[in-house]
Structure 1
């Protein structure tokens, strides 16, 4: 094992040690509208990953105000780091619009928060797999 490989392995262990949250990454099919009842049924959720993660606010992000329907919302950026070796089901990719639910966290205020994926960063010399998200509440 080279010096770089040793350093990466140590960095990945350190990054995983800081992953104290539990998240669920999923895609959701469009809602289905029932014309008879007049109600919508939420689309089927397909879980791609559930497990350890570190959810952290992006330090330089100031948030952006935007309109969502009839109300104004503030988009706050978060980074979700999962173990570098995480694999997804065959053929699955993380795409913008997918969602991350915070299932468990030492910070009780984060539990139940839904984050919307805006992108993902890959790299063979990274210590974790980082997913860019935003809180649209």
Structure 2
């Protein structure tokens, strides 16, 4: 593995060159009931890392599924989000299902504002990017 370091560094840089979106990875707090207004309000959001570059792409073989959520039909579409391999998280923190990725900027203006729900994360010392799987629940 002596020669692997420079090879991985080139691969990681090449992968980062493909990251044209800017995203925010965060955890949504539990909803809170406001007794004064009688409304449920979203809980606080906690950023898991600094907003930064990413590559967001639909998973090619995924067809999407139609699901019933309450009285509303929801389409689930799978995405892969690639972040720079060295993206830091706070100590002791892992990305878990239910965390969210918001697209802040993209060459495709239709993606801006898209919020994806994390379904899993892949870790690996020889990876060229940190990959997160997520779904669009619109």
TM-score category (smaller protein): over 0.9
Name the residue aligned to 1:42. Answer: 42
Match of 2:101 in 1: 100
Q: How does 1:53-72 map to 2 (within 5 A)?
A: 53-72=54-73
Residue-by-residue CA offset, 1:66-108 (whole Å, 9 max, x unaligned): 1111111110000010000111012211000000000010000
Determine the C-alpha separation between the residues in 1 that align with 2:5 and 2:91: 27
Alignment of 1:10-21 (within 5 A): 10-21=10-21
In the superposition, the TM-score normalised over structure 1's length comes to 0.96
1:36 and 1:52 mapped to 2: Cα distance?
A: 41
> Relative to structure 2, which stretch is displaced further, 127-136 or 85-94?
85-94
1:32-63 CA-partner distances (Å, limit 9, x unpaired): 11123111221000001211100000001011
Question: Does the residue aligned with 1:109 lie in a helix, a strand or coil?
Answer: helix
How large is the RMSD of aligned CA atoms in angstroms?
1.1
Moved over 3 A (4+): none
Q: How many residues align?
A: 137
The normalised TM-score by structure 2 is 0.95
Q: Which residue of 1 aligns with 2:112?
A: 111
Which residue in the other structure is 1:3 paired with?
A: 3
Structure 1 spans left out of the alignment, 5+ residues: none
Aligned equivalents of 1:23, 1:68: Cα separation in 2: 26
SS in 2 for 1:62: coil
1:90 corresponds to: 91
Unaligned runs of 5+ in 2: none
